[in-house]
């Protein structure tokens, strides 16, 4: 028998990648700085497009952006930017690409300041997961006070494409917020 999932996994066609993301990564606590950076880039790239599209292109992003390693991305110059702008496997938006590079530099500065990005990010919740135990997808906010605080802190440190709505999705993606339905067996 198939396990019960959050109610947004039913109805319209959900891709296998989306189901796998829901089942194995979404709202699961992440503490590896490399993956925290990767998700920050992917969430920023998602602005204005569907998360399904980002998941379909995730492998391409990781390849094009040198494994989404913040040290590599922070060192990008004009030649690499132009190569990324020609890469049909990713979102070719100059503002988003430039934000990824600037965010890599800001990310490295946060690591130096706090010892790790993980320490910075999880400090907003004292290292605890915020579990909303939702009963319906309709109860899930697009943003909240936590995402507004984190967004403001990121912006103050020079990050871009980190508005409260993007940050809320990011916090879900890295497990700071658990918005799996209370009866979802993938909690």
Q: Would you kindly state where each structural domain of the chain is located, as residue ranges?
A: 17-178
Q: Is the pLDDT of residue 12 over 70?
A: no
Which CATH superfamily groups domain 17-178?
Hypothetical protein; domain 2 (1.10.340.30)
Instruction: Please tell me the distance from the alpha carbon of residue 35 to that of residue 69, in angstroms, as a whole number.
Output: 9
What's the whole-model pTM score? 0.96
Q: Give the pLDDT score at 14.
A: 82
Region 125-148: mean pLDDT is: 94
Summarised one tens digit per residue, pLDDT across range 143-166 is: 999 999 999 999 999 999 999 999
Q: Which residues are catalytic?
A: 21, 43, 51
Q: Is the pLDDT of residue 7 over 90?
A: no
- H-type helices in the chain, by residue range? 16-24, 33-46, 51-64, 70-74, 78-85, 94-114, 117-122, 145-156, 164-173
Please list, in sequence order, all residues whose beta carbon lies within 8 angstroms of the beta carbon of residue 38, skipping any fewer than 6 positions away: 62, 68
Q: Is the pLDDT of residue 13 over 80?
A: no
Please list, in sequence order, all residues whose beta carbon lies within 8 angstroms of the beta carbon of residue 62, skipping any fewer than 6 positions away: 38, 68
Q: Give the pLDDT score at 1.
A: 74
């Amino acid at each position: 028998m198939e396990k019960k999932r959050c109610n947004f996994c039913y109805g319209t066609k959900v891709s296998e990648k989306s189901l796998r993301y829901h089942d194995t990564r979404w709202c699961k606590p992440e503490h590896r700085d490399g993956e925290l950076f990767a998700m920050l880039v992917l969430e920023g790239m998602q602005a204005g497009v569907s998360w399904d599209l980002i998941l379909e292109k995730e492998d391409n992003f990781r390849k094009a952006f040198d494994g989404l390693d913040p040290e590599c991305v922070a060192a990008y110059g004009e030649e690499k930017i132009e190569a990324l702008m020609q890469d049909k496997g990713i979102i070719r938006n100059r503002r988003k690409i430039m934000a990824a590079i600037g965010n890599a530099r800001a990310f490295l500065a946060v690591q130096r300041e706090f010892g790790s990005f993980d320490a910075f990010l999880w400090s907003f919740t004292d290292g605890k997961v915020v579990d909303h135990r939702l009963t319906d997808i309709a109860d899930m906010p697009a943003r909240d006070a936590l995402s507004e605080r984190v967004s403001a802190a990121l912006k103050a440190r020079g990050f871009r494409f980190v508005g409260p709505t993007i940050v809320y999705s990011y916090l879900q993606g890295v497990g700071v917020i658990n918005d799996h339905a209370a009866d979802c067996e993938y909690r």
